[in-house]
Amino acid sequence: MTRRNVLLITVDQMRHDALGVTGNPVVSTPHLDALAVDGVRYERAHVPNVTCTPSRSSLLTGQYPRTHGSWGIGVPLPAEAPSVAEHLSRVAGYRTGLVGKAHFEPTWDPGLRFAENRLAADGLNGPYRGFDYVAFAGHGGTGGHYGRWLATEHPEWSAAYMDLSARSSHPTRGFSESTGAPDLVANPIPTELHHTAWVTDEAIRFMDRQQTSTAPWFLWVSYPDPHHPWDPPRDELHRVPWRDRPIPDFYPGSPERAARVLAGKPAHWMGYWNGTFKNECSRGDWSASQLTPEQLREISAAVDVEVELIDDGIGRILSNLSASGWDHNTDIIFTSDHGELQGEFGLLFKGPFHCDALMRVPLLWRPAPAADVTRGSVIQSPVRMMDIAATICTCAGLAVPEWMEAIPLPVDESQPALPLITEYDSPSPNVGLHLRTVHLDGYTCTVYEKSTVGDGSGLQVDIPGFTVGAPSPFQYQGDEGELYDLSNDPGELRNLWDSSRHRELRDELVRTLYASRPARRRDWPRVEAPV
């Protein structure tokens, strides 16, 4: 049997509606739109965690974070965790590669304790977690193989990017000169040297190296954008002039209206807006109440530009795929590790907020033309992003291994809807939040388990500068929560948790939530780094 090649393309922190085919009225994404037309588009795909490392680890393992162990940012995926790349290599002889952002381990690693950072520092390209070849890139011009390449080949551009780790100590760095928007700077780097172009180049180089082999291949292309900081090449900003960019429809319209919307949600939502609540995924020197419509215009335009550059890169990869004669025998899957608030409810970035903006991501699967799949299908039934791992096994003609909790993605509406489970546990003891969410039958229900401010559930280690300011004033007793009827309230504006009319439904969803999630692994890993 001829085994199909698999091309997995991921982006970082992309909303479901960021593409033309998923509803963005501004952005131009012809290559991704074409994949949807020629394949299957999943209208509701949910992530198991709304932060990078846990969600990416679920993509690699096909397991929930409770099972693989990387339960939060700063918690490395255990070395013994299984890998779909290793499975394809060992069982079916696949050549495997990962180019771009991995982030299965912490990126804050000055001592180079973690292999992911050590490989790049030592100039090595693998092996790593089942990948024969790796070439890492992160958010900026330092670190990873990209940072090493930039410093060696083009040192004049190494400082072009904003440094996320230093933004608080340099308050004038990381704010737009035009509107004062946070984490938005003009990047002078030439487009052809930007990390999006570099990741694309590395992907093409990997594919070219497979020309001399008859073995099938699996390549994970992982673009770091459109995660903040929003700093696309300055020469590309003309693509979406920010002053003409419409404000997203989901923005409440003004800071005052945002405050009214947030008043109906659990208290830390409003705290995040007014700056009294700090979480692990925001900046401590800024609050969302400062966000103006003009700032949101500029941020949204920068996101659109980054998305268009990614689509350009995907176009180059697809052209190479066609020229190499592999197009007929290659499955292409596209998704994101989690979403972005981008003005939803008047907020920015991400964190312990279980809503569509963060949990729901784009998901496209263009099966190889040889596969028997109806083209242009749109699957409305909810699916789990982590099921991509099992789907990759299917593409390779392999049975799904027993260690996976994932199942292959459906290609029609005949599969019964599964409960979609998303969980969040605060790495910092000064936050201490524990959110458990289930989405089923058009309802999203979130349980707030008892807060653990001050002890971090015993998960904290001593890392200078890791804790998030003072202990959070927002502590939950375990009987709070959120319930939204997305059929009638797609904007998640009316919290029905305390509605007597919905009490029975709420209790049934909570029972389903706790019955559906796996048991937590016994050797619960500890936080090792801030991010």
**What is the average pLDDT across 43-70?**
97
Q: Which is nearest to 340 in space by CA: 265, 251, 259?
A: 251
Say if residue 524's pLDDT is above 90.
no
Percent pLDDT > 90 in the chain is 81
Beta bridge partners of 384: 46
pLDDT of 172 reads: 55
Q: Vertex 198, ends 194 and 204: CA angle to 5°?
A: 150
The order of strands in the sheet holding 95-100 is: 133-136, 95-100, 217-222, 5-11, 330-336, 363-366, 40-42, 377-379
> Do 468 and 430 touch, CB atoms closer than 8 A?
yes
| Inside any domain, residue 345 | yes
Q: Is the pLDDT of residue 351 over 90?
A: yes
**Residue 357 pLDDT > 70, yes or no?**
yes
Least trusted range by pLDDT, from 146-150, 210-214, 295-299, 374-378: 374-378
**What six digits make up the tokens of 452?**
């653990």
pLDDT at 330 over 80: yes
Enter the tokens of residue 188. 């002078």
Q: Is residue 530 part of a domain?
A: no
**477: confidence class by pLDDT, cuts 50, 70, 90:** very high
Say how far apart CA 280 and CA 208 lie, in whole Å.
40
Residue 27 belongs to domain spanning: 5-252+297-413
361: nearest Cα among 104, 50, 8: 50
CA–CA distance, 461 with 468 (Å, rounded to integer): 13
- State pLDDT tens for residues 160-171: 998 776 665 445
- Is 454 within a domain? no
* 524 and 71 Cβ atoms separated by less than 8 Å: yes
CA-CA distance, 285 to 40, in Å (whole number)?
42
Q: C-alpha 434: how far from its chain's center?
A: 19
**Is position 180 within any domain?**
yes
CATH code of the domain covering residue 202? 3.40.720.10
Residue type, 224: P
pLDDT at 462: 54
Q: Taking the CA atoms of 333, 149, 190 and 109 in sequence, report the sign of the dihedral they define.
A: positive
Task: Give 232-247 pLDDT, tens digit per residue.
Answer: 999 999 999 999 999 9
Complete DSSP assignment for 362-417: -EEEE--TTS---TTEEE-S-EEGGGHHHHHHHHTT-PPPTT----PPPSSTTSPP
Half-sphere exposure of 395 (CA within 13 A, CB side): 33
Q: How much is the pTM?
A: 0.96
pLDDT of 221: 98
Tell me whether residue 318 is in a domain: yes
424 and 50 in contact (C-beta within 8 Å)? yes
pLDDT at 216 over 60: yes
Confirm whether 319 is domain-assigned. Answer: yes
Burial of 26 (0-12, 13-18, 19+ CB in 10 A): middle
Whole-angstrom distance, CA of residue 358 vs CA of residue 338: 6
**The tokens of 484 are what?**
């939204």
Q: Which helix (H) or strand (E) holds 41?
A: strand 40-42
Mean pLDDT (the chain, rounded): 93
The answer to whether position 429 is within a domain reads no
Pairwise CA distance, residues 412 & 414, whole Å: 6
pLDDT of residue 531: 83
Q: Which helix (H) or strand (E) holds 336?
A: strand 330-336
Cα atoms found within 13 Å of the Cα of residue 358, Cβ hemisphere only: 26
User: Which pLDDT value is given to residue 453?
Assistant: 87
For the segment 451-464, the average pLDDT, to the nearest whole number, is 65
Confidence of residue 458 (pLDDT cuts 50, 70, 90): very low
132 band by pLDDT with thresholds 50, 70 and 90: very high
**For the residues 184-188, what does the mean pLDDT come to?**
91
Q: What is the pLDDT of residue 143?
A: 86
> Counting beta carbons within 10 angstroms of the beta carbon of residue 68, is it exposed (0 to 12), middle (13 to 18) or buried (19 or more)?
buried
pLDDT digits (tens, 9 = 90+) for 364-404: 999 998 677 778 899 999 999 999 999 999 999 999 999 99
Residue 380 has phi, psi (to 5 degrees) of -85, -25
Quick one: pLDDT at residue 117? Answer: 93
Token pair, residue 223, equals 């673009």
Dig out the tokens for 190 from the structure: 């030439």
Output the DSSP codes for 149-166.
HHHHH-GGGTTSS--GGG
**Residue 151 confidence (pLDDT) above 90:** yes
Question: Number of folded domains in the chain?
Answer: 1
196 belongs to a structural domain: yes
> Among candidates 221, 218, 207, which has minimal Cα distance to 396?
218
Whether 513 and 447 have beta carbons less than 8 Å apart is answered as: yes
Q: Torsion over CA of 460, 461, 464 and 470, rounded to 10 degrees?
A: 20
Tell me the H-state helices in 17-124.
Answer: 30-37, 52-61, 65-68, 84-92, 115-121
Distance separating alpha carbons of residues 531 and 101, to the nearest angstrom: 14
